[in-house]
Amino acid sequence: NAGVTQTPKFRILKIGQSMTLQCTQDMNHNYMYWYRQDPGMGLKLIYYSVGAGITDKGEVPNGYNVSRSTTEDFPLRLELAAPSQTSVYFCASSRQGRLTGELFFGEGSRLTVL
């Protein structure tokens, strides 16, 4: 029962460093999402993908990049990390259909940029 798996769970970066947050799902969902959660701000959509080879920007894409080479994996890349990217990042997936709506979330990756 893996569902959505994110790694790493915690990471500390220095300003200017780069890293990739990994996300994989085993539910054969075609839709995948990356959100960031800041205190008192809810979840903001960074990028999403409706299938392998297709990605689109969400509300807050600046400073991030994504790729979707397979149905299972949707990594999020941070280039030149900045303190403003300190946040908790959640990956989610869903199987879109006539009755859409349920997002399955990973446990989150807590990133601190110093």
Partner 1 sequence: GQQLNQSPQSMFIQEGEDVSMNCTSSSIFNTWLWYKQDPGEGPVLLIALYKAGELTSNGRLTAQFGITRKDSFLNISASIPSDVGIYFCAGQSGNQFYFGTGTSLTVIP
Which residues would be at the binding site for partner 1 (CB under 8 A)? 4, 31, 33, 35, 40-45, 48, 50, 56, 58-59, 90, 92, 96, 99-108
Nearer to partner 1, 2 or 99 (CB): 99
Cβ 16 to partner 1 shortest distance, Å: 28
The 3-class SS string of 45-110 reads EEEEEEECCEEEECCCCCCEEECCCCCCECCEEECCCCHHHCEEEEEEEECCCCCCCCCEECCCEE
Nearer to partner 1, 18 or 84 (CB): 84
The answer to whether 22 and 74 are in contact (CB under 8 A) is no
Cβ 90 to partner 1 shortest distance, Å: 5
Cβ 100 to partner 1 shortest distance, Å: 6
DSSP 15: T
Nearer to partner 1, 46 or 78 (CB): 46
Cβ 91 to partner 1 shortest distance, Å: 8
Among 36, 46, 66, which residue's Cα sits nearest to residue 54? 66
